[in-house]
Structure 1
Amino acid sequence: MQHIIEITEDGSHTLYVPELDEHYHSTHGAIQESLHVYLEAGLHHCDKPEINLLEIGFGTGLNAFLTLLDTEKSKKTVKYTSLERYPVSCVDARMFNYSKLLDPSQEKKFMRLHSSAWSVWEEITPNFHLKKLQMDATNPDGFQPEGLFDIIYYDAFAPEKQPNMWTQEIFNRLYILSNQEAILTTYCAKGAVRRMLQSAGYQVERLPGPPGKREILRAVKR
C-alpha cells in the first residue's frame, strides 16, 4: 500500500494511506494515542515480570518502540509478537521522528525493530524480544503461537476501512489464545466491536480516550 508521512498534533509522525483514506495513528497525536491506548490502558495493568504480548498491526513500529522503552524503565521482560501484512520499508522508517522526540539515543533500537528478520525471534534488548510475522489476523486458525498471551494490542485499521479485520471469528480465536486475566486494548470503541469481544468471553469496559477520541475499549479475560 502506498502511504504518505504526515505530522500529527503532538508533533509525531503518522502514515496516511490514500487507498483507504485512513491514517495509521490519530491525527490528534500519534505518540500520545499509542501511550494512552496500549501502554497506559494495557501494558501497565499487567503485573507479571515476564509478559507475552501480541500486536495486531506492527505498522510504523511505534507501539513496539514505546513498549521497548517502557521495559528499559520497568525491567520487565516482554516477548513481543506482531502480525503485519504490509510492512513499512526501512527507508520510510528512517524518516519517522519517534526516537527524535522520545529519546534520540534509542534510534538504533527503533531501526532494529524494522530491520530485524521476519518469522524468528530477535533479541532487540535483553528485556525485549521481537517476532514479526508477515500476515494478518483474517485467518486466525493459521496463527499458531508458542504460548498464551498476557497482553493484546489490537491496532488494525478501522472497521469501516477493513471490516474483515474485525470479526467474531478473530476475537473468538484471540480469547482462546489469551491467558486468564489477559488484557486486550483497542482504540476502537464501536458498539459492534464491544459486543463481539463480550460474545467471545471477555469482560469489556469503556475507558476515556486520548485527545480527539471520546472512548476506547479494554477487554479482560476473567
Structure 2
Amino acid sequence: MDNIKIITTEDGSHSLYHEGLKETYHSFHGALQESVHVFIEKGVRFWRTKSGLPKQVDIFEVGFGTGLNALLAAQFAMENELKINFTTIEPFPLDMGIINQLNYATSIGQDDLKDVFEQLHTSEWENTIDINKYFSLHKCKTKLEDFDTSKRFDVLFFDAFAPNKQAELWTVDLMLKCFNLLRDGAVFTTYSAKGQLKRDLKSVGFEVETLPGPPGKKEMVRGIVN
C-alpha cells in the first residue's frame, strides 16, 4: 500500500497516514492515548462498571485498521481476567509489511504483547480464534452495510474514518444498524462529536452523551441503549 505511510504521534505511538484520504488512522496528538480514552475507558470499562463487573463481554468494532483497539482490549481482558469476545470488520486489511513496523507493544510498555499483536493480524479471517483464554477474535473482511449476524453485542467501537472523509460510513441508516446490533444496556463509543452524528444517534434510539475527548480533542460521543 504505497498510499499508506507510518507516522509517529505526539505520545510516541505510531499511526498511519492515508495519502488518498489525506487522513490519519488516529489522532496525531497520540494514537495510544486516544484509543485508551475513547474505546477502553469510555467504552468497555464504563460498560463493565455500570453492568456490575460481569466476567464476559461481547465487543463489536467497526474498523479493525491497525489492530490497536483490539490489542488494548486484549490487554484489558488479561489484566482484569475478563473474557472478551471481539468481533471486528475491515474491508481493506493492511499489509503485514506495515503492521510489523508498528510500535504498539513498546508504546504500551509490555513487550509480551508483541506476540498477541502478531496473532491478531495473522489469525484467519471469518473464523473465531482464541488468542488466549481471555480473548477471542473474529475478523470479517466486509463493510458495515454488508455485515450480517444474529449476534448482539455489549460494546461497539465505532472507529471509521472521519465523517468529513468518508461520510457514507456515518449515515443514519448505519447508525440504526449499529443500534440494532446492541443489547439493552449496551454502549456505542466513538471519537467523533459531530452535531449531525449526535442527532442521528438520538433519532435511532440511543441516549447520547457528549464527553471530554482524549488529549488534543475537546469532545467525544457515547451512546447508550436503554
TM-score band, normalised by the shorter chain? over 0.9
Report whether the alignment pairs 1:97 with 2:103. yes
Cα deviation for residue 51 of structure 1 reads 0.7
- Specify which of 114, 125, 128 is matched with residue 121 of structure 1: 128
In the other structure, the counterpart of 1:5 is: 6
**Rounded Cα–Cα distance in structure 2 between residues aligned with 1:92 and 1:20:** 18
Counterparts of 1:41-190 in structure 2 under 5 Å?
A: 41-47=42-48, 48-102=54-108, 103-137=110-144, 139=145, 142-190=146-194
Name the SS of the counterpart of 1:110 in structure 2.
Answer: helix
Contact 1:194 1:204 in 2 (8 A): yes
Among the aligned pairs, what percent are the same residue? Answer: 38
In the other structure, the counterpart of 2:37 is: 36
In the other structure, the counterpart of 2:17 is: 16
- Deviation digits for residues 132-184 of structure 1 (CA, Å, limit 9, x no counterpart): 111121x2xx3222421100000000011001000111111111111001000
Structure 2: segments with no counterpart, 5+ residues: 49-53
Structure 1: segments with no counterpart, 5+ residues: none
**Rounded Cα–Cα distance in structure 1 between residues aligned with 2:85 and 2:204:** 24
Cα deviation for residue 61 of structure 1 reads 0.3
Q: What amino acid is aligned across from residue 100 of structure 1 in structure 2?
A: T
Aligned residue-pair number: 219
Contact 1:89 1:114 in 2 (8 A): no
**Rounded Cα–Cα distance in structure 2 between residues aligned with 1:29 and 1:59:** 16
- Output the TM-score relative to the length of structure 2: 0.95
Name the SS of the counterpart of 1:41 in structure 2.
Answer: helix
Cα deviation for residue 88 of structure 1 reads 1.1
In the other structure, the counterpart of 2:51 is: none
In the other structure, the counterpart of 1:191 is: 195
**Rounded Cα–Cα distance in structure 2 between residues aligned with 1:19 and 1:90:** 20
RMSD in angstroms over aligned alpha carbons?
Answer: 0.9
**Rounded Cα–Cα distance in structure 2 between residues aligned with 1:156 and 1:106:** 24
